[in-house]
Every structure is written in structure tokens, then in C-alpha cells.
């Protein structure tokens, strides 16, 4: 991290009062508690325990867990893991939904020095077996209801929720460990088997924090509702950032749009952390329910969204329903945070992902690695100190001049706003025209009869590939394939009109809300 980046980070932290100014007695306790743990996530938790021991760290479906209790529970579970041979170099999988056991497992593994691999809760038995083998997982911490799936994985010891509960309440403690293992987050697997993306515990941590804080007004002591999966980089980053600022994180095992709206008011949440499909389902609950819920959301000031394309239509709808509170973040597990669009940015350009965050460099390059002119589409490359360490299978993303490929294609306009045109492997060549489905999906999503849409390329004997649209109608709305095609024809070039339109009840998605286009045909 350069001197310039350090100064920029310090300025952001000072401007946001991010736990820099503390009562002397609390600051002394925080330092005494955290120093023995070095630069680890355990140190961050120890500091918050010293500052606010009785504040709720987590509120889940079973109620609140204070910072003090969270520390005690992670000690007990860490002691059991150490008894079972878990430690430096061990790979421990965590297969838990959004509740206290996920958080306890995460910090308990950190206290042992082992590597933690966050597992997708949507895995079926064969996929879990495959990932455990690929990531060399020898211990698996899991929810009770995953028992049958876990039992299908040979050669892997496991601790279920019931056993973990006994360990967390044992009252045992563990000695401080000044280092911890890597955190491995699995890629979404939208184009194949999920790969493990590894990150060292202190890899660009401060720069990653300030990249977000430079645009998103997170505050010490926030109540934040994390609807996004905690095993996903977006949900995990907000959980960890919440711990560092003594925040209270509200989570639920399963996402329900009505319950989420209710919980925002009940817990007076200031921040909502979600992925686009969750927000889409929240605004679709019905006008009366949404209006009643909004009356109880006087504290909501930030809707932080990432994980997939927000889309201009949804951005505008959210602003109309909740006001200027949406912050659209662009990045990935590999490149970390690249850009953030503020409410003011989205008001000007609803489809933008914003401008590069503090300490981040974004360039648009052509196939030869040369910068393209302003406004011209090319491959998006990102440079920062919080990028990942590489995939656990030894592979990595393409790197040019110290910049890492995001895997997307996009452009930057004259005012410096970044726009993502699509995935670089989503490009469809039809009759010699290079097409990205995002523009067509964005248009169709604005149709009053369409709830969701996905556009893919399918083999075509005449044009090589042809566009195929898969549409979910809004309840009670009528729409024909001919009408959908005409809507595109009236707004876009003729070669962008889908050749076929198929109506479906729902689009296939993974646990983080990304559409699994490879399963459409």
C-alpha cells in the first residue's frame, strides 16, 4: 500500500469517525484486548468486546447475542476444534445459513489458525463432495439440517449445530494466536464448478474498508440487516466490517421479502445489505404492504447492493420507494471493491456502477492490453491492494500492468462514470454483430408486464447465434411473444430483437441470486 493510499485511507477513516475517537478508558481496554491477537479478525472482535460488551453483535431468528457472549462462544468452539486436531494448515469448511452459528464458526476457526472455506448452502451432496475434495477439507461445521448431505462426504469429520452448541457453552478458553489462516470464498459457479478464491486475513484490509467507506456512509454502532448470504463476499464483508465498528448485524436463516421489510422497521435498521434479486422481490410484495412497511423504516439511510447487475429500472424503482438511499457497489470476490455509485450518481445515470473508489484504479483495455478511448467498450481491469491471492487450484485471473481482470466488459464516459456492458464470456456474435444481453434485458425489464428476464445466445444456422429471451410475467399481466419482440424493435436496433421468446414461471438462480444462464435452453 503506497504512502498516498495510506494518507487517503486515514482521511476517509477520520472523516467517517470510524472508531478513531473513543473514550480513553475504552480505547485502553480495546488495545489491551486486541494486541495479543495481532492483525487478525479475532483482534477486531476482541476490540469490540472491550468497547461494547453488552451490545448485540448478532440478532438472528432466536434473538440477540452480545459481543461478550459471542467471544465466549467462539472460545468454546475453538477449544473443541483444537482438541480435534484443527490448527495451522487445516482446512475447515463452514456450511451454515445466516444465523449465529455461522458467525461463531467463522471466528472459532480464526482463533485456531486454520483456513476457513465458506460453503454454499445450496450445494447438493455430489457438489459438496466435489468441493470438499478440491479444497482438501478435513473438518466441516454445519447446521443440523445439512446432516444428510454432509454424511455423503467420505473422509471428512463434521460438527453439527447440536454438538457445536455444547462446545460454545462449555466455558473453555483458548490462548491468543497472533496469526490466522486464509479465508476461502467459493466463486458463484455460474459457468462451472465453484473455485476457491483465497485471501490472506490482512490483504489490503484497510484499503478495502476505505474503498467502501469513501462512498457509503457506514457509521460506528449501526444496526445493519444483512440479507445477502454470509458465505458470499458481499455479506461476509459487511459482517466483518460490522464487527470492527461495534455494529449490530440482523440476520435470518432464509430470505423472505415480507419478513425483511418487517425486520427493517422492528430493529430500526439504518443499513440494509442485499443483492439485487432480493430488492426486486421486496418491491414486488404489493403496494399496500410496502407502504405500511415504509412507515416503520424511519432509520433506513443506506441500501448497500452488490453481487450482480442492479439495472437502471430497479435502481429507479428503489429510489421511488425508499428515497435516495441506494449505493450500488461493483466488484467481485477476486478484485474486491472497484467502484461505487451513490444515490446522486444513480439519479443522473441509473445504469452506472459509479466511479472508482478511493485507492482503486480502473482501466478499460482492448484485447492487446491497450487502453481504449473514452466511451469505447473494452475489458475492465482493476488495481488495488485488496485483490485476492489466487484460486486454490493454482489458477488466477488475467493480470496486465498490475491490474486484474474483472471478467466484465464495459466503458467509462466523459464524466468518469463506469458502465458494465456484460460478462466478457456473455458476448453473442449474431450475423457479425457483437451483442451483450444486458442492454436488451434492461429494456425488457422496464416493460410493465415483465417481472424478470434473461437473454442468451443460441445456435443459429443462418447467423451463427441468435438471441433467445426467457421472460417471467408479472402476476395478472398478459404479454405475448410478438408483443415482447415489438417492444424491443421499437426501442433498439433490429438485430437486437430476440428471435425467440419463451415464458417461464421463474428463472434459475444460485444462492446469491445470479441467474444460471447455462441451464437455460
Which of the four pLDDT bands, split at 50, 70 and 90, describes residue 431? confident
Q: Which residues fall within 8 angstroms of residue 327, CB to CB, at 6 or more apart?
A: 215, 216, 302, 303, 304, 305, 340, 341, 342, 343
Which of the four pLDDT bands, split at 50, 70 and 90, describes residue 206? low
Q: What is the model's pLDDT at position 515?
A: 86
Q: Residue 249 is inside which H or E element, if any?
A: strand 248-250
Section 41-62 average pLDDT: 95
- pLDDT of residue 311 exceeding 70, the answer is yes
Most confident of 9-23, 185-199, 259-273, 488-502: 259-273
Q: Exposed, middle or buried by CB within 10 Å (0-12, 13-18, 19+), for 373?
A: exposed
- Give rounded-to-5 percent helix, strand, coil for the chain: 35, 25, 40
- pLDDT of residue 379 exceeding 80, the answer is yes
Q: Is the pLDDT higher at 203 or at 315?
A: 315
Helical packing angle, 287-294 and 257-266, nearest 10°: 20
Judge whether 155 and 132 are in contact, CB under 8 Å.
no
Q: Residue 341 is inside which H or E element, if any?
A: strand 336-341
- pLDDT of residue 38 exceeding 60, the answer is yes
Section 313-341 average pLDDT: 93
Spatial distance between the Cα atoms of 104 and 78, rounded to a whole number of angstroms: 9
Q: What is the model's pLDDT at position 99?
A: 97
What grid cell was written down for 195? Answer: 473455485
Spatial distance between the Cα atoms of 397 and 420, rounded to a whole number of angstroms: 18
Q: What is the model's pLDDT at position 494?
A: 87
Section 124-135 average pLDDT: 88
Spatial distance between the Cα atoms of 359 and 208, rounded to a whole number of angstroms: 9
Judge whether 339 and 315 are in contact, CB under 8 Å.
no
Q: What is the model's pLDDT at position 26?
A: 77
Spatial distance between the Cα atoms of 307 and 228, rounded to a whole number of angstroms: 9
> 495: number of CA atoms within 13 Å, CB side?
11
Q: Evaluate if pTM is beyond 0.85.
A: yes
Beta bridge mates, 361: 383
pLDDT tens per residue, range 481-502: 999 999 999 999 888 999 999 9
Spatial distance between the Cα atoms of 309 and 329, rounded to a whole number of angstroms: 10
- pLDDT of residue 27 exceeding 50, the answer is yes
Q: What is the model's pLDDT at position 67?
A: 98
Q: What is the model's pLDDT at position 132?
A: 92
3-state secondary structure of 82: helix
- pLDDT of residue 195 exceeding 90, the answer is no
Which of the four pLDDT bands, split at 50, 70 and 90, describes residue 1? very low
Section 149-161 average pLDDT: 87
3-state secondary structure of 306: coil
Spatial distance between the Cα atoms of 202 and 414, rounded to a whole number of angstroms: 36
SS (H, E, C) 39-78: CCHHHHHHHHHHHCCCCEEEEECCEEEEHHHHHHHHHHHH
Q: Residue 110 is inside which H or E element, if any?
A: helix 100-112
Q: What is the model's pLDDT at position 204?
A: 45
Lowest mean pLDDT across 147-156, 359-368, 372-381: 147-156
Q: Which residues fall within 8 angstroms of residue 173, CB to CB, at 6 or more apart?
A: 75, 79
- pLDDT of residue 88 exceeding 60, the answer is yes
Judge whether 122 and 96 are in contact, CB under 8 Å.
no
Share of the chain above pLDDT 70, in %: 92
Share of the chain above pLDDT 90, in %: 63
SS (H, E, C) 141-175: EECHHHHHHHHCCCCCEEECHHHHHHHHCCCCCCC
Spatial distance between the Cα atoms of 308 and 312, rounded to a whole number of angstroms: 13
Most confident of 23-37, 314-328, 503-517: 314-328
Judge whether 100 and 74 are in contact, CB under 8 Å.
no
- pLDDT of residue 151 exceeding 80, the answer is yes
Q: What is the model's pLDDT at position 202?
A: 57
Q: What is the model's pLDDT at position 197?
A: 79
Judge whether 282 and 247 are in contact, CB under 8 Å.
no
Q: Which residues fall within 8 angstroms of residue 394, CB to CB, at 6 or more apart?
A: none
Judge whether 278 and 513 are in contact, CB under 8 Å.
yes
Spatial distance between the Cα atoms of 380 and 361, rounded to a whole number of angstroms: 10
Domains of the chain: 203-357+386-396+408-423 (3.40.50.12780), 428-519 (3.30.300.30)
Beta bridge mates, 403: 400
Which of the four pLDDT bands, split at 50, 70 and 90, describes residue 16? low
Which of the four pLDDT bands, split at 50, 70 and 90, describes residue 439? confident
Judge whether 117 and 168 are in contact, CB under 8 Å.
no
Q: Exposed, middle or buried by CB within 10 Å (0-12, 13-18, 19+), for 104?
A: buried
Spatial distance between the Cα atoms of 344 and 306, rounded to a whole number of angstroms: 17
Amino acid at each position: 500500500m503506497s504512502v498516498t493510499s495510506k494518507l487517503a485511507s486515514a482521511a476517509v477513516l477520520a472523516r467517517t469517525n470510524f472508531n478513531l475517537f473513543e473514550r480513553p478508558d475504552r480505547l485502553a481496554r480495546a488495545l489491551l484486548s486486541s494486541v495479543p491477537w495481532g492483525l487478525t479478525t479475532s483482534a477486531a472482535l476482541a476490540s469490540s468486546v472491550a468497547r461494547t460488551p453488552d451490545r448485540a453483535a448478532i440478532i438472528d431468528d432466536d434473538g440477540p447475542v452480545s459481543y461478550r457472549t459471542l467471544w465466549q462462544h467462539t472460545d468454546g468452539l475453538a477449544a473443541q476444534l483444537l482438541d480435534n486436531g484443527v490448527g495451522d494448515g487445516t482446512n475447515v469448511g463452514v456450511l451454515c445459513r445466516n444465523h449465529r452459528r455461522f458467525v461463531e464458526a467463522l471466528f472459532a476457526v480464526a482463533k485456531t489458525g486454520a483456513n476457513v472455506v465458506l460453503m454454499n448452502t445450496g450445494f447438493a451432496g455430489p457438489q459438496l463432495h466435489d468441493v470438499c475434495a478440491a479444497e482438501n477439507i478435513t473438518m466441516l461445521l454445519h447446521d443440523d439440517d445439512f446432516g444428510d448431505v454432509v454424511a455423503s462426504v467420505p473422509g471428512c469429520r463434521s460438527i453439527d449445530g447440536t454438538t457445536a452448541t455444547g462446545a460454545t457453552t462449555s466455558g473453555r478458553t483458548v490462548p491468543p494466536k497472533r496469526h490466522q489462516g486464509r479465508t476461502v470464498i467459493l466463486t458463484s459457479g455460474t459457468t462451472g464448478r465453484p473455485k476457491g478464491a483465497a485471501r490472506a486475513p490482512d490483504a489490503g484490509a484497510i484499503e478495502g474498508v476505505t474503498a467502501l467507506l469513501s462512498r457509503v456512509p457506514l457509521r460506528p454502532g449501526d444496526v445493519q440487516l444483512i440479507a445477502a448470504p454470509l458465505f458470499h463476499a458481499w455479506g461476509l464483508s459487511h459482517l466483518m466490517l460490522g464487527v470492527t465498528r461495534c455494529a449490530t448485524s440482523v440476520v435470518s436463516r432464509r430470505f423472505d421479502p415480507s419478513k425483511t421489510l418487517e425486520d427493517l422497521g422492528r430493529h430500526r435498521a439504518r443499513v440494509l445489505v442485499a443483492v439485487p434479486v432480493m430488492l426486486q422481490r421486496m418491491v414486488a410484495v404489493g403496494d399496500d404492504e410496502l407502504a405500511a412497511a415504509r412507515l416503520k423504516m424511519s432509520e433506513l439511510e443506506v441500501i448497500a447492493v452488490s453481487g450482480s447487475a442492479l439495472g437502471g429500472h430497479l435502481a429507479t424503482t428503489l429510489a421511488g420507494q425508499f428515497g435516495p438511499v441506494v449505493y450500488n457497489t461493483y466488484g467481485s470476490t477476486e478484485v474486491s471493491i472497484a467502484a461505487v455509485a451513490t444515490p446522486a450518481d444513480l439519479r443522473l445515470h441509473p445504469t452506472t456502477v459509479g466511479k472508482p473508489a478511493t485507492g482503486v484504479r480502473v482501466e478499460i483495455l482492448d484485447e492487446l492490453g491497450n487502453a481504449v478511448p473514452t466511451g469505447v467498450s473494452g475489458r475492465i481491469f482493476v488495481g488495488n491492494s485488496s485483490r485476492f491471492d489466487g484460486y486454490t487450484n493454482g489458477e488466477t485471473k488475467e493480470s496486465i500492468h498490475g491490474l486484474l481482470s474483472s471478467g466484465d466488459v464495459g466503458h467509462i464516459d466523459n464524466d468518469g462514470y463506469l458502465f458494465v456492458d456484460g460478462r466478457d464470456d456473455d458476448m453473442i456474435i449474431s450475423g457479425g454483430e457483437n451483442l451483450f444481453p444486458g442492454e436488451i434485458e434492461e429494456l425488457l425489464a422496464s416493460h410493465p408486464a415483465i417481472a424478470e428476464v434473461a437473454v442468451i445466445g443460441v445456435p443459429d444456422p443462418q447467423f451463427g447465434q441468435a438471441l433467445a429471451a426467457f421472460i417471467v410475467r408479472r402476476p395478472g399481466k398478459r404479454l405475448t411473444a410478438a408483443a415482447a419482440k415489438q417492444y424491443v424493435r421499437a426501442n433498439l436496433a433490429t438485430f437486437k430483437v430476440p428471435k425467440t421468446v419463451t415464458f417461464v414461471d421463474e428463472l434459475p438462480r444460485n444462492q446469491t441470486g445470479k441467474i444460471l444462464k447455462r441451464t437455460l435452453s
